[in-house]
Structure 1
Amino acid sequence: MRKFANWPTTYPAPDWFIHDRFGLFIHFGLFSVGARHEWYMTTEEIDPKTYRETYFDGFDPDLFDAKRWAKAAKSAGITYMVFTTKHHEGFALWDSQFTDYKITNTPFKRDLLAELLPAFRQEGIKVGLYHSLIDWYHPHFSLDGLHPQRNHQEARLNNDQRNMTLYQDFIAHQVEELVTQYGKIDYMWFDFPYSHRDWGWSKGKGPLDWDSLRLETICRTHQPDMLLNDRLALGRGITTPEQFQPEKPFEKDGLPVLWEACQTMYGTWGYDRDAQEWKSSDMLLKMLIDTVAKNGNFLLNIGPNARGEIDPRTRERLQAIGEWMRLNKQSIIGCGPSMYSPPTDCRYTQNGLKLYLHIFSYPYKQLYIRDIAKKVRSIRLLTDGSEIFYRGYDPQEVITSTEETIGPDDLLVALPIVKPDTLIPVLEITLHESDEKNGSFPL
């Protein structure tokens, strides 16, 4: 197993995760009815009882179709999925025996998780579960500066009556249900520690508050092959930055870090009817490519609406990415970073002898590629498989238009003048066999 700074040898090999690269995050819950992101219970300081009375009895995603969700993901080129079993609001989207605040007690009546996971597995997509360590509905989850009742005087006075030991038992029981009653789970995605926060009258919560070691033991016992993220705050697991693209691959103590970029299509995670800050399909695709080029996975979020449908703006982006993936997926799936330096406004990914050059900013007619001339066997445009001509160093020729000579290790690549009809053109550069280990990331 390849060594990662944040992945202990006692954990299962993350080979499938490194290979698959492209995941789908799905945020769904009572907050989908409010349709103004997933945190408004606390940003608007809504009492848990009021929140339940307002949203619970009317929750009925009557248009939900697990097979349609799964097929949409498959068409987009998605290889694994992470679904919110319970967000911070405390509402369970499965038939939990440890709460009545669950989807089977709403007008919907069905266990959504029991329908969702088989549908995705049938499409060949691995399944992961998001589970919040926070629960603003539970009566024994103590108040802190993030709790919606943080400014309720009576609740503050009675905070010492909340017993976090009872909450630890509750969350342990729910996690055990999830990892024992729904078949093979490939990935458990916990959210989130905030012990560094301090409001004076209260402090944030961390691994001791929800007994992270106990949760890890439950997961490892019942699903020994399941991957875990790092948000149990035990110093191990997949690193999961949100809404952030790093400048370079993550490393620690000279070792690579196993990581996953979590990104939304707009500003928040849950369904937001009035969202205006939508990322374009082009931008989302560039983020996917950039992430893989930096040795990470890309977890792209969607927030279905309260009726259980993926809205048109989301579908449009999934379809655009899916069409690109249909023609170019080999430059993403199974790939990692390359040791070669790409031209300006380009990204490399690599899988063995195949080096993929993603052209973010399409140039006029020609492209300089540095330092690989003696290593290249052939180049083709991946979109249609067409041959791309290139030439190398000629000591008698000076490129007068740029006052630049092609160096001995450089190539001048002839591109079609008109940009190919694809969001991001990709050149597939086949290397000589002797050069496979020189630039390839060992998967």
Structure 2
Amino acid sequence: MKINYIHMKVYIYVKCIITSLNKSICKPSLLICIGLLSLGSGLKGQDVPTSHYEDLQERTAWFREARFGMFIHWGLYSIPARGEWVRAQERMNIEDYQVYFDEFNPVNYNPHVWAKLAKAAGMKYAVLTAKHHDGFCMWDTKTTDYKSTRTPANQDLVRTFLEAFRDEGLKVGLYYSLVDWYHPDYPAYGDRQHPMRDNEDWKGKVHKWDNYVGYMHEQVNELVTNYGEIDIMWFDFSYWSYRGEKWRASELVQMVREKQPHILIDNRLGGDMEKNDPDVYAGDFDGPEQGIPREPIRNESGYLLPWEACMTLNDSWGYKAKDYNYKTAQDVIRYLTNAVSKGGNLLVNVGPNAYGEIPKRSQEILHSVGDWMSVNGEAIYGAGISEFDKPEWGRFTQKGDTLYAFLFQKHFGHIGLKGLKDKVIKARLVKDGSEVIVTPFWNDETSDFDEPDDIFLAFGKPVPLTYPLPDKLATVIRVHLKTDR
């Protein structure tokens, strides 16, 4: 049965008022109720979600359950080992870059090893760069000879990646660059980032834009036609006037969805997915890069939108041999928790080297994250924004009547849960199911704490003492809430 959103709103509103009056704390509770009502209806715009929004929720259900994925940037640029933008940054011409094409032979490439690592890390999906900005194709395309099957590798690397990750039960996605520095009809001189952007020899060259866009559409058509079910199409990226219908984006998206009705498409074709009635190419999820938003992402009416922050594990997307500035397992866990607490996903990148190996340090970090996820994953998978404000000592995620409290730092004395008095049944450590003590403030005669609506947690007795965190990476407490809160 479909939910009647108007009836639901009235029910919530009336229940909030009755509950507030019964507890004789009308003003604070009513403010909370109105706030919760606003989350469902939006502070402005339409009162009932559009069919577009309902379709979006249905299509992204698995994505919002998964929460954690692997990004893989890999290609010819792994040989110079100075990052995936090396051609543009060093203004390298096609002839100078050709040496890497002639040499590309990842002798230790084993996508099953990659897939097992992703699974061990607790990741639920992965996205591979099928084509980056350099124009090199990692599949056996019929559109060009600039592809992996023409190199010493002599492999369709997209196919082997997809097969290996599917074998591990992971969802699969392909990254495709709208930008192309190899194709002769992609504008070069005067462009924002093309390797030949300021090369006078390229000034005045004629580029047939329609030829390039047709080429790009045909490549995408191959990827969504010849490789089975693709779960994500990750386009990158729009800039200047190169956005939206410049890519013939409506036509492109229509073709992709006809071939893959359940596919998710990112938001980098140039549309605005925060509109109530967005363009057809606006995308299914927002994609902040190298950062996590301060607040959840919503549309104009206030409805939550799916989003995914993509993040490098060190400071580089493509393999960079001298980049040792790795994030720790603790960093990754906290970024992931922060994203989920705001209704988002985290896509963590690895950059395999020229031999096709994921760097050892990346593997070590992801295995440590996976050890933590194997214990605490219930607080991540399928979890999302809590109805309660972010605590000062960490983050909350929530699933129904279960609140997950993440402690990031050792707390001074017992741990305050703001506004949760009379709402908590019990608390248990997710790590081993052991009791976490639920208690009022330890000294009811003090005048220094005027917090009548708070309840507190403690790892031992006496409760005012400071106890070591059970898990230094991130301690997770499962707080069971009363249904009639």
**By the TM > 0.5 criterion, same fold?**
yes
Partner residue in 1 for 2:257:
220
Aligned equivalent of 2:103, options 27, 39, 58: 58
Contact 1:356 1:428 in 2 (8 A): yes
Partner residue in 2 for 1:175:
220
SS in 2 for 1:34: coil
Query: Partners in 2 of 1:4 and 1:67 — Cα distance?
Result: 42
Partner residue in 2 for 1:302:
350
Aligned equivalent of 1:189, options 234, 241, 250: 234
What amino acid does structure 2 have at the position aligned with 1:221?
E
SS in 1 for 2:176: strand
Aligned equivalent of 1:139, options 178, 184, 206: 184
Aligned equivalent of 2:382, options 311, 331, 334: 334
Aligned equivalent of 2:454, options 387, 396, 410: 410
1:21 paired with 2:67, answer: yes
Contact 2:233 2:265 in 1 (8 A): yes
Query: Partners in 2 of 1:259 and 1:412 — Cα distance?
Result: 33
1:206 paired with 2:243, answer: yes
Query: Partners in 2 of 1:229 and 1:27 — Cα distance?
Result: 17
Deviation, structure 1 residue 306: 1.0
Q: 1:156 to 1:7 in 2, by over 3 A?
A: farther
1:97 paired with 2:147, answer: no
Deviation, structure 1 residue 373: 2.2
Partner residue in 2 for 1:71:
116
> Which of structures 1 and 2 has the larger relative contact order (alpha carbons within 8 angstroms, sep 6+)?
1
Q: 1:42 to 1:4 in 2, by over 3 A?
A: farther
Deviation, structure 1 residue 145: 2.4
Contact 1:367 1:415 in 2 (8 A): no
Taking the TM superposition and a 5 Å limit, the aligned residue runs for 1:268-307 are 268-307=316-355
What amino acid does structure 2 have at the position aligned with 1:243?
Q
What amino acid does structure 2 have at the position aligned with 1:149?
M
Deviation, structure 1 residue 157: 2.2
Aligned equivalent of 1:121, options 148, 152, 166: 166
Partner residue in 2 for 1:398:
445
As a proportion of its length, which structure holds more helix?
Answer: 2
Query: Partners in 2 of 1:316 and 1:121 — Cα distance?
Result: 23
The CA deviation string for residues 110-168 of structure 1, in whole angstroms up to 9 with x for no partner, is: 1111111121112111011110000000111111121100121121221xx21110111
Taking the TM superposition and a 5 Å limit, the aligned residue runs for 1:424-439 are 424-435=474-485
Query: Partners in 1 of 2:87 and 2:318 — Cα distance?
Result: 12
SS in 2 for 1:185: coil
1:49 paired with 2:95, answer: yes
Query: Partners in 2 of 1:8 and 1:49 — Cα distance?
Result: 48
What amino acid does structure 2 have at the position aligned with 1:285?
I
Q: 1:323 to 1:69 in 2, by over 3 A?
A: same
Query: Partners in 2 of 1:35 and 1:265 — Cα distance?
Result: 16
Q: 1:381 to 1:130 in 2, by over 3 A?
A: same
SS in 1 for 2:203: helix
TM-score, normalised to structure 1, is: 0.90
Runs of 5+ consecutive residues of structure 2 not aligned to the other structure = 3-39, 41-47, 273-281, 461-466
Contact 1:129 1:188 in 2 (8 A): yes
The CA deviation string for residues 2-35 of structure 1, in whole angstroms up to 9 with x for no partner, is: 9989965565621111111111111011111111
Query: Partners in 1 of 2:187 and 2:413 — Cα distance?
Result: 63
Runs of 5+ consecutive residues of structure 1 not aligned to the other structure = 196-203, 436-443
Deviation, structure 1 residue 393: 5.9
What amino acid does structure 2 have at the position aligned with 1:372?
L
Contact 1:392 1:409 in 2 (8 A): no
What amino acid does structure 2 have at the position aligned with 1:166?
N
What amino acid does structure 2 have at the position aligned with 1:316?
E
SS in 2 for 1:389: strand
Partner residue in 1 for 2:26:
none
Query: Partners in 1 of 2:92 and 2:427 — Cα distance?
Result: 59
Deviation, structure 1 residue 366: 1.7
Deviation, structure 1 residue 225: 0.7
SS in 2 for 1:368: strand
Partner residue in 2 for 1:371:
419
Query: Partners in 1 of 2:354 and 2:59 — Cα distance?
Result: 37
Deviation, structure 1 residue 75: 0.4
Deviation, structure 1 residue 182: 0.7
What amino acid does structure 1 have at the position aligned with 2:477?
L
The CA deviation string for residues 46-71 of structure 1, in whole angstroms up to 9 with x for no partner, is: 0123212x200111111111111000
Q: CA RMSD in A?
A: 2.0
